[in-house]
Amino acid sequence: MSTGFSRRRQDVIFTLPAQETAAAVTATAATPAAAPAPAAAATAAARPAEPEDLPGIAAQVASCTACGLCSGRKTTVPGEGSLRPPVFFVGEGPGEEEDRTGRPFVGAAGKYLDKWIPAIGLQRHQCFIANVVKCRPPRNREPRPEEIAACLPFLKRQIKLIQPKTICCLGRIAAQTLLETTSSLGSLRGRVHAWQGIPLIVTYHPSAVLREPSLRKPVWDDLRLLKTLLSDDPDAASEQAGK
């Protein structure tokens, strides 16, 4: 199911079937409006207005054909979670189960991530979870640069709208994309970065840890650093990052 957004509680949003989003978009489009001036109309046609809310971003994602990933997708996966999250988790891209359901991190890696989140004193519904690309790459390959470039504006607008307390990048692709670097994941771990003023940490992707159990210890260290950041104790965070 392609996805839009709807509130379940005041501070939590979840994905809904695309037909509901499409109906809302159609209803909006059918509302009569004054004809714009020719110059304004040309500008609007060349540069569609950016949605100012998460449902609008989800609708735009659902209709996006900016890269080749759109041709093989079953659904788009914009993201889901709290509107006021302490942590915004960013992964690489949807997998098979995510492509089927339209929800992020619901396969094996997602179930493993669900076990990490209580270690920082939270539950999944209190966080926001999304990916760098919103459509599944074929056979779960890494997203290509042009695919990342096409999808990245959606992710950036989501983060700016939500203004999470912290960001946690899950894996190399997410970390290198948001930090605009080619540095290795290992060199980016263990310290606090920032994305537009928001503290950001880097850890391994849950799927990598499932394949290589020796990564559990580094991930645990990263989660302790994240938990310290959430405690509003900068000295403790600096001490934890130095370990």
Q: Where are the domains of the chain?
A: 3-241
Confidence at 232, pLDDT banded by 50, 70, 90 = confident
Closest CA to 133 of 81, 182, 91: 91
Of 220 and 18, the structure prediction assigns the larger pLDDT to 220
- Pull the structure tokens for residue 148: 């990342």
CA distance 209 to 116: 11
**Could you give the CA distance from residue 206 to residue 150 in angstroms, rounded to a whole number?**
25
CATH 3.40.470.10 fits 3-241, yes or no: yes
How confident is the model over 57-108, as pLDDT tens digits? 999 999 999 999 999 999 999 999 999 999 999 999 999 999 999 999 999 9
Integer Cα distance of 112 and 207 in angstroms: 8
Between CA 123 and CA 224 the distance in angstroms is 16
Quote the crossing angle between the two packed helices 172-179 and 145-162, to the nearest 10°.
Answer: 70
pTM of the model: 0.79
Residues 6+ apart with CB under 8 A from 240: 224, 225, 228
182-220 pLDDT, tens digit per residue, is 999 999 999 999 999 999 999 999 999 999 999 999 999
Q: Which long-range contacts (CB under 8 A, 24 or more apart) does 209-216 make?
A: 209/112, 210/108, 210/109, 210/112
Q: Which helix (H) or strand (E) holds 181?
A: none
Backbone angle region of 197, left / alpha / beta, with phi > 0 → left and psi within -120 to 50 → alpha? left
